[in-house]
Structure formats: C-alpha cells, structure tokens
Structure 1
Amino acid sequence: MWFSIDFSSHVPVYKQIVEKIKMKIAKGELKQGDFLPSVRKLAEDIGVNFNTVSKAYKELSEQGIIEVQRGEGYTVKVENLEDFNNEILIEIKNALKKALNAGISPNEIKKIFEEVVGRDFNDTRS
C-alpha cells in the first residue's frame, strides 16, 4: 500500500491524500518526473472512491505539484524541493498562529509537536 488514510480524522479524505503525496515529495520519495499510481489503482489500494482520488489529484495539479501526461498518467511536476519545503514551513507557521489565537497553550502545541516528531526535545536542549 502506498499510504493509509485515517477515516476517523476530521480532515477530508481527499485532503489527506493531497498531504500524503506532498509529504512523499518533501521526503524525496517522489521526485520530478515520477509517475503517481493511476486514480483507480490508488483508490483501490487505499480503499476510497476513485472520485476522491481524482479530486485530490486535481487539487495537486492546480497547485502546480503534479501534471497530467496525456495518455500516460500523472507525474510529479515540482522542480524545486526547497521552495516546496518553504511552503510547508509557511503552512506550519500559519497553523501555529491559528492555534495560539484559538487559545491553545504553547505547552499543548509543544506536546503535539513532540508527539508528531516522536521524541522529547527537553532532553536534547543544550
């Protein structure tokens, strides 16, 4: 399986697909020119309707991240991974600002960060 979807998440499935593909690009698992699975194949692999995958691919295409190669499928279009990673960092900053503005404490944010990253940074500070 290419990746899994959290069906209990409040995040729409197509958005999860978009984010999973973006993360594969950010990690270097997908590079410019690489082919993505067909809409039907990915839908079958992750257990969703093909229209959901199609919607995700359309969004990625509109963002300039992937493109359609007529008769061949979708390929990764992103040329500059640094720019792409900078976009992700901006998204993280905006999410942090939104969380703070919503009244979520810095300690709660730190706890979530450590949970996502998978380690406690208290032990690594100098």
Structure 2
Amino acid sequence: MVIILWFKVDFNSHIPVYKQIKDKLKLLIHTGRLKPGDFVPSIRTLAEDLNVNVNTVARAYRELMAEGVIEPVRGEGYIVKKLDEKRFIEATLQRFIETIEECKRVGIEQEKLVRLLKQIYGRRKNGSECEESDEKL
C-alpha cells in the first residue's frame, strides 16, 4: 500500500531540501505513520507533490537506502525497511543542541527558551494549547 505523505518542505530553510525530505520520512516512520513494508511514493510522484526536482528526491532516497531505512522493490517502488531509532533520536538531539547554541550566540535568553519548551510540551497532540500553558513568549 502506498501511503500519502502530508508534509511540505521549507524552501527558505538553511537545511537542504533533500535533507528535509529524509528527516520527514524518518519522522513518519518513527511516529508509526509509515511502517515496515509500506510503500513510499515514487521519486517522480513525491517530486511533483513537493514541487521539487526529481534529483532532489532521488538523493534523499539514495541516502535513505544507504542507511537501510528504505529498499527498492523491482518494478514496484520503494518500501520502508526499518529505522535505527537510537540513531534517529541522537541526530534529532544533535540538531536541537546546534539550534540552542545558535540561540545563545545571537543572545536569546535561556529563560525565553525554557518558556518556549514548556509551551511546546504543553500542547496537545492536535496542536491546541493545554490550560496550564497559556503563558506567552
């Protein structure tokens, strides 16, 4: 079964588009929206859906194959193989650390970051705010 992916790429981000695609596919696997054996969209289909060059998606898929996350099925497309959860979490935390270090360099106060973390963790899964997290930044 092919899963319809509901994500977008940020063309204004400093993160390359192919990396955003990789990260978002890994997040879908990590959260269970994509499971081992599920088909991911073809390179051409995903490129059209995201309005990016096919070579960009191809690069993301090549790297995901090299990491053992997806595998090609001859004549069918690509299926989810597995995700190294420990590696995924470590990479996510490393990006978080780099972002915090950047915030520190530009002078964002620690208290503001702590409030932001509490606000984000206070959200419900549907994105709405919980009652105890109505503090504004």
Q: Report if TM-score (shorter chain) is over 0.5.
A: yes
Instruction: Give unmatched runs, 5+ long, in structure 1.
Output: none
- Cα offset for 1:32? 0.3
Q: Is the 8 A contact 1:100 1:106 kept in 2?
A: no
What is residue 9 of structure 2 aligned with on the other side?
A: 5
What is residue 19 of structure 1 aligned with on the other side?
A: 23
Aligned CA-pair RMSD: 2.7
Q: Deviations 1:16-44 (Å, cap 9, x if unpaired)? A: 10011011101101000110100001111
3-state secondary structure, aligned to 1:29: coil
Distance 2:60 2:44 in 1: 12
1:32 aligned onto 2:27: no
Name the % identity: 42
Distance 1:118 1:49 in 2: 38
What is residue 89 of structure 1 aligned with on the other side?
A: 89
Larger radius of gyration: 2
Instruction: Give unmatched runs, 5+ long, in structure 2.
Output: 124-128
- Cα offset for 1:8? 1.2
3-state secondary structure, aligned to 2:10: coil
Distance 2:122 2:16 in 1: 24
Q: Where in structure 1 do 4 or more consecutive aligned residues deviate above 4 Å?
A: 99-103, 114-118
Distance 2:23 2:40 in 1: 14
Q: Deviations 1:79-117 (Å, cap 9, x if unpaired)? A: xx6x41x22321233234445555725435435545655
What is residue 72 of structure 1 aligned with on the other side?
A: 76
Q: Is the 8 A contact 1:32 1:76 kept in 2?
A: yes
Greater percentage in helix: 1
What number of residue pairs does the alignment pair up? 119
TM-score (norm 1): 0.76
1:53 aligned onto 2:57: yes
Distance 1:52 1:118 in 2: 35
